[in-house]
Chains A and B, each alone.
Chain A
């Protein structure tokens, strides 16, 4: 089964607007993490939200988690051209120790100047 499916697959907005990306998953999780990937580069960790948390903020980022709906959203406020990248959600299963992250396909975000 698919885990961590993002929606939309691609999003193009004007600089200054807010961008919202959604992620759905199927199994129980310990936490959910959002990552950014610039073209051809590695994954940059943005924010981790635990299964007992509902909302988390970091700068211009706001993440929500609804475990009853098995979904999460990432909001980027006041977008900038430098926010252009692919964004991935990744779920970590409820085990101690090493976490296996299961990634979605990602949302390709384009910020137009």
Chain B
């Protein structure tokens, strides 16, 4: 069964450094998402992406964050200048195209980002 893959599984970065989290969504999916989960808290929506542009973003997704689909397979999340509070598990998800968007989102295993 096709799956969403994320790399790396764990990223340790110094505060203030840039970090890029990578995702390979399921190949025939058209909608892509990033979520994050701070330890012990609920999963929070960050951003959705379709047709090479952001569809929606949350208030968490400020100017320090950006997303890109550099080629036909990768979907990346960049944090420009990391802060301690960016430490979290980051999940990528993708979904297909269907009527009224009633399609499940398929999640990767996540990247655990630790900011020191």
Real binding pair: yes
Q: Residues of A with Cβ closer than 8 Å to B?
A: 30-31, 33, 35, 41-45, 48, 50, 88, 90, 92, 95-106
Chain A residue numbers with a CB within 8 Å of B109 are: 41-42
Q: Residues of B with Cβ closer than 8 Å to A?
A: 4, 31, 33, 35, 41-45, 48-50, 55-56, 58, 91, 93, 95, 100-110
- Min C-beta distance of B105 to chain A, whole Å: 6
Are A95's CB and B107's CB within 8 A? no
Tell me the bound Cα distance from A45 to B33 in angstroms.
15
Are B31's CB and A98's CB within 8 A? yes
Are A99's CB and B105's CB within 8 A? yes
Tell me the bound Cα distance from A26 to B19 in angstroms.
36
Are A45's CB and B105's CB within 8 A? yes
A98 with B50, Cβ < 8 A, contacts A30-B102, A42-B91 known: yes
Q: Which of A45, A48, A98 contacts B107, CB < 8 Å?
A: A45
A98 with B56, Cβ < 8 A, contacts A42-B91, A42-B110, A43-B91 known: yes
